């Protein structure tokens, strides 16, 4: 294992940066045209307006991109706990975030626009409900699993000995990134439920 200063130099040198930057750039070059092409196909086969085909496409792409961003965020956080090669891991995670977050934001923006301007039809859509339940449940389960793994590694190292921060890097990164996704999606779900309550109260007053 190389000394920290050598690893940092290698990671920040032109060849090291290229190895970390080229894969996400190549991914963007491949994924963006594919997403745009499939969006074109969806618009061609969809009916006028927002239908289930459009919903499935937007929620599927935004969900996959958000999961990718969560994984990349876990890498980035895990890299902060590494002493020897944190620059490599953090750059890889950061590069992954730069790929996944714009794709998620682009598609999720349409979903949020729909719930804002077509609340009833979008709220009553089973596709949106399934998406919200899945994107709350999956990262919540992942967070609990990571917390259990983190606790086991920590207390084992504490009582048995030989604990190092690098031992918990993966579990800690997964815990934080999954928890952030779960909290965000729950806030979206809660905001939507509050909107339903306000509409019911408005109708009751009338």
Supply 178's token pair.
Answer: 């999954």
pLDDT above 70 (res 108): yes
pLDDT at 102: 87
The answer to whether 14 touches 20, Cβ cutoff 8 Å, is no
Q: How much of the chain is helix, strand and coil, in % rounded to 5? A: 90, 0, 10
pLDDT at 12: 47
pLDDT above 90 (res 44): no
> pLDDT tens-digit profile of 142-195?
999 999 998 888 888 878 877 777 778 888 989 999 999 999 999 999 998 887
3-state class of 81 per DSSP?
A: coil
DSSP 4-57: HHHHHHHHHSHHHHHHHHHHHHHHHHHHHHHHHHHHHHHHHHSPSSS-HHHHHH
pLDDT at 139: 94
CA pair distance 98, 92, nearest whole angstrom: 10
Q: Most confidently modeled of 68-77, 129-138, 169-178, 196-205?
A: 129-138
- For residues 74-106, one letter each, b for 16 or more C-beta atoms within 10 angstroms of the residue's C-beta and e for the rest, the string is bbbbbbebbeebbbbbbbbbbbbbbbbbebbeb
Q: How far apart are the first and last CA of the chain?
A: 72
C-alpha dihedral sign at 139, 140, 145, 147: positive
Which of 171, 169, 130, 166 has its CA nearest to residue 149? 171
Out of 10-14, 50-54, 80-84, 201-205, which region has the weakest mean confidence (pLDDT)?
A: 10-14
CA pair distance 70, 104, nearest whole angstrom: 11
pLDDT at 4: 41
pLDDT at 55: 87
Helix (H) / strand (E) element for 128: namely: helix 126-160
pLDDT above 70 (res 2): no
CA pair distance 78, 82, nearest whole angstrom: 7
pLDDT at 181: 95
pLDDT at 51: 78
> What is the Cα gyration radius of the chain?
21
pLDDT at 107: 86
Q: Which residue has the higher pLDDT, 113 or 20?
A: 113
CA pair distance 168, 37, nearest whole angstrom: 41
Q: Which residue has the higher pLDDT, 115 or 38?
A: 115
If you ran DSSP here, which 8-state letter would residue 165 be given? G
């Amino acid at each position: 294992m190389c000394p920290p200063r050598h690893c940092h130099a290698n990671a920040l040198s032109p060849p090291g940066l290229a190895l970390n930057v080229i894969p996400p750039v190549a991914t963007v070059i491949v994924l963006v045209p594919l997403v745009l092409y499939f969006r074109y196909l969806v618009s061609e086969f969809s009916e006028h307006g927002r239908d289930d085909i459009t919903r499935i496409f937007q929620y599927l792409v935004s969900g996959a991109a958000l999961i990718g961003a969560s994984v990349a965020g876990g890498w980035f956080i895990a890299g902060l706990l590494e002493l020897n090669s944190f620059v490599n891991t953090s750059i890889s995670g950061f590069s992954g975030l730069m790929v996944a977050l714009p794709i998620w934001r682009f598609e999720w923006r349409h979903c949020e626009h729909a719930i804002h301007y077509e609340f009833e039809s979008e709220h009553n859509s089973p596709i949106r409900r399934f998406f919200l339940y899945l994107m709350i449940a999956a990262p919540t389960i992942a967070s609990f699993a990571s917390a259990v793994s983190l606790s086991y590694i920590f207390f084992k190292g504490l009582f048995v000995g030989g604990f190092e921060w690098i031992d918990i890097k993966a579990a800690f990164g997964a815990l934080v990134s999954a928890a952030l996704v779960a909290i965000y999606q729950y806030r979206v779900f809660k905001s939507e439920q509050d909107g339903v309550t306000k509409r019911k109260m408005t109708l009751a007053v009338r």
